[in-house]
Structure 1
Amino acid sequence: MTMDEQVTLVQTHPLSLGGATVAEYVWRPHLPSLLSPRPYLHPVRTLAGTEVTEAMPVDHLHHLGASVAVPDVGGVNFWGGRTYVRGKGSVPLPNHGVQRHHRWEARTDAVLAHELRWVGPDGATVLRERRRIAARPLDDRAWALDFRYAMHSAAAGPLEFSSPGAKGRIGAGYGGFFWRANRGLRSVRLLGPGGEGAARLHGSRGRWVALSASGPDPWTLVFIDVAAQGDPWFVRGDDYVGVGASLAWAEAFSVAPGEGPRRRIITVVADGALGPRETADLAASVSAASAEPDRGS
């Protein structure tokens, strides 16, 4: 297959505000199975046009902008890369799944809603998901990405969600909504209601965390748990920059047939490197404005 033929297989949809594209949603990617192919947002941009996501960076090829990825659902790797095995560490296994678009429920300039199927390497559906992504303006420097998902187990019995953290790898409880940020030449501060820095915020359960990047084309990302689910935050600021809301931080959990996690994360995408006070005020105002009940996806 030629490169041109591969490109034609990739299908995207823009999210736009005021006629400007602020994000591209790759809803039908064309990726190697080792990356656990899934829909993702990239590039995501500030209102000034600065890219704030990275996809397939050389250090972690399976990091795909902003997406939902879980390292272990019923033994299937929906995260990508190696699989962590207790007592053995991270090993390559032929257990990668894929998230496939099933049907659209809404597709406009600012709102995308669709059903997905999470499929294992044997072709069996593991999860059904309904997802809604919306862009909305906040002010002349910032906009908000409202990301909701609701998972439903397709298994006949209990279905387990797990992570390396739940298998003994300390601090590696990643899995769920995850955003790989584009640091570039910038200096990034990690902010939260309990202070700042990865040592304080990694694994914390505050209502929000933020990345504030100073330097060329500064930006700020504020991740808000508007539904108050209380998932621990997975944060990285040294080897790479990223934030996730973890589903199985230190313990695995099981769901019954037809059941599963449902989450809502709003990410404020702002131009400029905001300080702790400005970031806290922004998180509070967005939370208050988004306090209506989550009716699911």
Structure 2
Amino acid sequence: MTVQNSATTPAAIAIGGHAGGTLLAALGVVAFSLTFPATVWGLDGFGPWSLVALRSVLGALIAGGFLLALRVPLPERRHWGPLAAVAGGVVLGFPLLTTLALQTSATSHAAVVVGLLPLATAAVAAVRTSHRPSRRFWLAAGAGAAVVAAFTARQSGGAIHSGDLYLFAALLVCAVGYAEGGRLARLMPGWQVIGWALVLSLPLMLAVAVLALAHEPVRLTAHGVTGLLWLAAGSSFAGMYVWYRGMAAIGIARASQLQLAQPLLTLLWSFALLGERVSPAAPAAAVAVLVCIAVTQKAGN
């Protein structure tokens, strides 16, 4: 299916065109930047499988409540396949793999995944649609990803952690979920995309939650509960809602480049919430990344 030009889609018109779409996608990035610190907090009270399952179950209950209250009809049959890809990538795959990785990796190291995610998302989108970003776009995106990867790798001392395989697998499945969700968000509201993906995952994640809670210890600490609630309401639903709506308005590839700022935001949250040390090189890296983002936004989508 050929994706429409973002300037003429109903989503773009409804939220004020490119500027509104950029703002919504940026809000999604801010929400996502809290995901790794919130996961670390969540692991303070729950095991990895319990945390992932409970965040999905709670997110599905929130989304299902909205879908029922607004009497949203079931998606068309042709949309269930892409919704399954969204569920597998952003509801199950990415949360589980990154949670497992964060048991041994610092958030600053795990942020490498987010730095490489925009390129992966744009590449998947190019394969799945007829859209082809310009050479200037790819050069700027590659430069931005390189800056983020080098910066975050330096923060972890350049070491290879046992969680790296989890992180790179998370990168791949999340890119597929983002790309498929971005395409669907042109056909239905973004909150319905993530809402139905969460609801679709509910039976499986409910079963996983029962099994995990029976085998993993639970400590109801303030950090643990706060982390879980943010992951369920902020990362799993609200953040994905504005993110997919922003992608529908400005295009998958362009929106994905806004995520180049996400690792740096995550480092700031890691310092403020977790007490992790942030290198003095952060301001220079932030400027370089913002320049790359500006170039991708003007390079033509």
TM-score, normalization by structure 1:
0.30
Question: Structure 1 or 2: larger strand share?
Answer: 1
Question: Structure 1 or 2: larger helix share?
Answer: 2
Larger relative contact order (C-alpha < 8 A, sep ≥ 6)? 2
TM-score, normalization by structure 2:
0.29
